Structure 1
């Protein structure tokens, strides 16, 4: 069902009616050395700059400008971060903002909680996040603290190469992965991802199925651990996991680590992910037997005069920085979808100097 720029699945209309008050946006920043593998992601201008993407996204969303570097986070061919959408949404509404460093190389110049200690390793080592349990425990405390001040949470993430770690975790869990995870690229580099995932699982000695914590420790990323902890700590308030196939995998991990019915949980993403022919958000959830509400933001940049934004309509980038979920929550507050799109256009125009 599509209403006012949003599409609802799996009973999401009823979930949406629970979202009252200001609400809180939580951005989880994470990094994995897997992002440095050439060709695995375009979530940064160059492989050596991928580690800057999470802090740059946080700075953009919180302040409307980039502080750590001179330029906005973008792909090598100048397609801007979906953090532009998130910035537009939060600037048009009244969300509280919280930033959580799950494990990165560079700290952002915004106030933040730190629940991890350094980036995740390349998953080809089979020892990607050995401190996953500690991250979960730390994040659980933060989630409880944020939830005590919030009517509901929208949790987004910024993690270069996160769709590769998501694929690896699905395979470690023994979930059917013919419905593959998405990609920031129009041409999903599935063969490369498959090779990287296979090597990581072999190094970890995982052949078939393992438990959720072991999967994260072996081939996951710090963002997964932190988001799980936040959700566990936030029991008692509705939570939107704002993201695409990465957050779908996080929901599967949550279902294996706690009674998911005790978490008032939904997933929200962009139509660019929902319509992606190279992946299947709904197939991933169905394959794991996780039936949670899904809200899709039907954003479009087809009217844009900028090639960087028009690239989203060609299947580039698609999602990230909680864009789909925070846009949906903003629309539910009464802000028209077109207003978010026009605000993105205006912000980008200023950033490119026009």
Structure 2
């Protein structure tokens, strides 16, 4: 880590409340590096990747749906909410949550402000989406197996997803916002980063107010023991053992984007750090800094601040540094400034209590809206109005 640049960022270029994560591993941020995201004249594409893993079937592993059955439809319901909004007609009911509201509501608000038209890619779902989507693989592939098996996906499937992602990345013609919805995805992220050699068990969050760290670690340990990957496994071997379909596809997108040279805004926290680490490991050392210069990770303030009161740096900030140390280059990770302290709507206030925190690209899209001139107060007000619409508009049918 001593070789990483430590030039301070210019905090004046960041909108209200936004913060940069990481210390030794934080890349300097200046107006030029943020220009693709601050320029209102620059057209941007938005891709939401839906995927499923049987890791999410474990009781208590994820709060993205209160039951294993409901989590099978979380991705579809969130995608519909992002596309059609709270007042639109939707087929898939949002899964019951312990508290809060789907982050897709926040994503929709920001995407609407930005006038973005979301595209959706579907991987390994149990049901075919009833909305337009990119078909990356055959529907009958189904969810990846639980990572505890040590055999999450056949290697040919991983290779196919990676190639399809790489092709998309090479063909990018505009900056891309990449978002995901993968119940159980923080656990597969933990497994991938652990397999890459990073000690991350104490740095990984999740959708629950109190993430089930012992359960996550037990699944990861069991899966890696069964996989017997040996020293220095290749990224595709790691994915086949303990990954999920989103990770395979997204890693390919990042590798392909080196050829297109297009900037990437990755929406999330540990899941996006995991795919960035996989892509970096697959690239020659000479191209890693180039990819790092193209990538900005955007997350929410709730995830960025989680656990920060107990230590000098939040777990997510520590994860940024740990990942930067692994790939030996500095990284750009920003949290948006939107908070709900002043809201009178309980599902939004629940975010301040530690529920939900992030998902469906919420942090990245809110960050992008701020970078392009939207104020926090306007975004909060839009979220409140959207929530009111959501609570007064039932879905049109059930699956």
Say whether 1:266 aligns with 2:275.
no
2:347 to 298, 308, 312: 308
Is the aligned partner of 1:257 residue 2:279?
Answer: no
Deviation of the 1:93 alpha carbon:
1.6
Aligned length: 349
User: Equivalent residues in 2 for 1:119-198 (5 A)?
Assistant: 119-130=143-154, 131-145=157-171, 147-148=172-173, 150=174, 152-198=175-221
Aligned counterpart, 2:19: 7
Q: Which secondary structure state, in structure 1, belongs to the residue aligned with residue 350 of structure 2?
A: helix
**8 Å contact from structure 2 (residues 78, 360) kept in 1:** yes
Q: Aligned in 2, Cα 1:260/1:104: closer, same or farther, shift over 3 Å?
A: farther
Query: Which segment drifts farther, 16-25 or 34-43?
Result: 16-25
- Out of 221, 225, 241, the position equivalent to 2:248 is 225
1:276 Cα deviation from its structure 2 partner: 1.1
Cα separation, partners in 2 of 1:170 and 1:8, compared to 1, 3 Å? closer
1:132-172: CA deviations, max 9, x gaps? 11101112223344x12x2x111111000111111111111
The Cα shift of 1:231 comes to 2.0
Distance 1:125 1:68, change over 3 A: farther
| Offset from partner CA, 1:61-91 (integer Å, 9 cap, x none) | 111146232x33441x242111111000011
> Aligned partners of 1:262, 1:221: CA distance in 2, in Å?
26
Q: Whole-Å Cα distance in 2 between the matches of residues 22 and 5 of structure 1?
A: 25
* Residues 238 and 192 of structure 1, relative CA distance in 2, 3 Å threshold: same
Please, what TM-score do these two structures have when normalized by structure 1?
0.92
- Secondary structure at the aligned position of 1:295 is classed as strand
Question: 4+ runs of 1 displaced by more than 6 Å?
Answer: none
1:196 CA drift (Å): 0.9
Q: Pick which of 152-161 and 287-296 moved more.
A: 287-296
SS in 1 for 2:342: coil
State how far apart, in whole Å, the 2-side matches of 1:144 and 1:107 are. 27
Q: Could you tell me how far apart the structure 2 residues matched to 1:182 and 1:46 are? A: 19
- Measured on the aligned residues, the alpha-carbon RMSD in Å equals 2.0
Q: Deviations over 1:278-316 (max 9, x none)?
A: 862222232232421112102111222222211110111
Gaps of 5+ in 1: none
What aligned pairs does 1:1-354 form with structure 2 within 5 A after superposition? 1=11, 2-8=14-20, 10-13=27-30, 14-19=32-37, 20=39, 21-64=42-85, 65=88, 67-69=90-92, 71-75=93-97, 77-116=98-137, 117-130=141-154, 131-145=157-171, 147-148=172-173, 150=174, 152-206=175-229, 209-234=232-257, 235-258=260-283, 259-263=287-291, 264-277=294-307, 280-288=315-323, 289=325, 290=327, 291-353=330-392
The CA deviation string for residues 159-206 of structure 1, in whole angstroms up to 9 with x for no partner, is: 001111111111111112254211111212101111111111122123
Gaps of 5+ in 2: 1-10, 22-26, 309-313, 394-399
- Larger-Rg structure: 2
Compute the TM-score of the two structures, normalised by the length of structure 2. Answer: 0.82
Alpha-carbon separation, structure 1, partners of 2:288 and 2:362: 24
